[in-house]
Amino acid sequence: MTNFYSILFQRLYTSPLLGDLLTLLAGGILPLAFAPVSWYPVAILSPACLFILWRNNHPQRAGWRGLLYGIGMFGVGISWVQISFSQFGNIPFLGALLLTITFVLSMALYPALLGWLVTRWFPHHTATKLLIILPATWTLVEWLRGWLFSGFPWLSLGYSQIDSPLNGYAPLLGVYGVSWLTVTSAGLLIFIGSGKPHSKQLLPLLLLIGLWGGGWLLSTHAWTQPAGAPLPVALIQGNVPQDFKWLPSSQQPTLQRYLQLTAQQRPHAKLIIWPESAIPLFYHQVPEVIESLRTLQVTAGIDFLIGIPVMDEQRGEYFNSVMSISDHPLQFYLKRHLVPFGEYIPFQQLLGKLLQILNIPMSEFTAGTELQPNLYAAGQLIGVSICYEDAFGELIRRSLPEATLLVNVSNDAWFGDSMAPPQHLEIARMRALETGRYLLRATNTGISAVIDTHGQITARSPQFEIHSLRTQAIPYQGMTPYVRMGNKLVVGLLILILLIAVGFDHPRFDHWFKVVKS
């Protein structure tokens, strides 16, 4: 094995182009770790390949290879953004392709930054760098990507481990903590395979086994407790094509479809949920629909959560909203974290004309206030998120511990039959696992699902079919460590680890924890 690594490193050192191509390939296979393929070991093998390819590089070459890795990763993993531009925006194919490439390149700058920083400031090829510095820095850069410029946390490595033993750490450290341990596993794998078997190789092997075994043990622990009997619910999936959703001629047929599907749930459900903007008109434009639902609530005891846009007529602002109809007064949740270029245009003065070019319906939303009460329905306080908001764990935890259920309404029809809907469902599963709450996900074209406190899907709908998902959800109470501390715990821990590791990042510290030299 030692000779193999020596030959490999020497070959990569003398043939930079080969290393560049392998880096691009390593990034391109990483999305296989995520849904819908969900080969979670790839999330360990892919970063391990990148770390090997970063060896013996100067900072510029490492940054370049980080960029190539990001191009492969995001070029494959989020290629679906092109669908929303070309199919549902007023953009020719080449223009949509250019926008997609620009977005992919902007995301690829993060692994490029990682490669440059680590190689520039930690030039020694030590076990400290491999097992501590690289995993911690990777995770901090991933966290940075999750909030900088409004944030894009898609393809954070921890999501790929939702079905692996490492998922047991999610209620403790959140998705970024799982990312950290995944990259640490990659470093341990390199270390184990980098030399001849001897007694000093036993420690990293035991660490790897302990890391994964500890995750499995933690996954058996119940951090939260049931707060009542199972609640009969129905998630209405109208399957309205995005091409027709906002056409005036489609509005009444859409409303009739949802009302008919809802009437069929009358003997069964106590809570019915319609997806994001299921009503393609403003609240004040559909008084007869609201009255029908309120009548059904009184006569049948069914409560509702309805996706509907709301307009403030005095200020001329409108909001992406979820309305609660129950035996309490009407309540509204107003979406807080809007999608750039989809629901609003950042830097409006410079980029405002993009609204006319993109031609996206309802693309000038106003964000709701940060502090909003949970919605009341079916005797429960419910933490609501709309579409993309469930990608932000810190936002979801704001509704806890008061909320006994989580609900996400979405419309992934923007991205067609691509990887986006399965990836989005995977993200929702992580939120349920982090918080120890059932999460009910109602979507327009699928995938609608009910997810339990362990992040497992208890019921799901088919995609691109009119469907009523009728099942049960259990209210829960209590707090996981992640709900209590959020990302502060893992970010603070990683910064502390990096500060300590800097003092030990020296070849002499590697006398028994040493990577074989090329």
The pLDDT tens digits of the residues spanning 183-198 come to 999 999 998 887 655 5
Catalytic, 276? Answer yes
Average pLDDT over residues 299-317: 93
pLDDT digits (tens, 9 = 90+) for 163-186: 999 999 999 999 999 999 999 999
The CATH architecture annotation of domain 225-479 reads 4-Layer Sandwich (3.60)
Assign 3-class secondary structure to 357-422.
HHCCCCCCCCCCCCCCCCEEECCEEEEEEEHHHHHCHHHHHHHCCCCCEEEEEECHHHHCCCCHHH
Phi first, then psi: give them for residue 340, nearest 5 degrees. -60, 135
Is the distance from CB of 74 to CB of 82 less than 8 angstroms? no
pLDDT digits (tens, 9 = 90+) for 4-43: 556 665 666 667 889 999 999 999 999 999 999 999 999 9
Q: What does the alpha-carbon distance between residue 443 and residue 422 come to, in Å, rounded to a whole number?
A: 12
What are the structural domain ranges in the chain?
2-222+484-510, 225-479
Beta bridge partners of 381: 376
> Residue 277: pLDDT above 70?
yes
DSSP per-residue string spanning 207-228: HHHHHHHHHHHHHT---SEE-S
Give which of 461, 515, 394 is closest to 1, Cα–Cα: 515
For 20, 303, 386, 435, 464, the CA distances from 403, given in Å and listed in that order, are: 49, 16, 16, 10, 31
Residue among 387, 389, 426, 434 flagged as catalytic: 387
Q: What does the alpha-carbon distance between residue 322 and residue 306 come to, in Å, rounded to a whole number?
A: 5
Residue among 49, 270, 276, 426 flagged as catalytic: 276
pLDDT at residue 237, rounded to an integer:
98
Average pLDDT over residues 306-328: 94
> Residue 349: pLDDT above 60?
no
The pTM is what? 0.93
Residue among 142, 245, 335, 389 flagged as catalytic: 335
Please report which confidence band the pLDDT of residue 125 belongs to, taking 50, 70 and 90 as the band edges. Answer: confident
| Average pLDDT of the residues of the chain | 90
31: left (phi over 0), alpha (psi -120 to 50) or beta: alpha
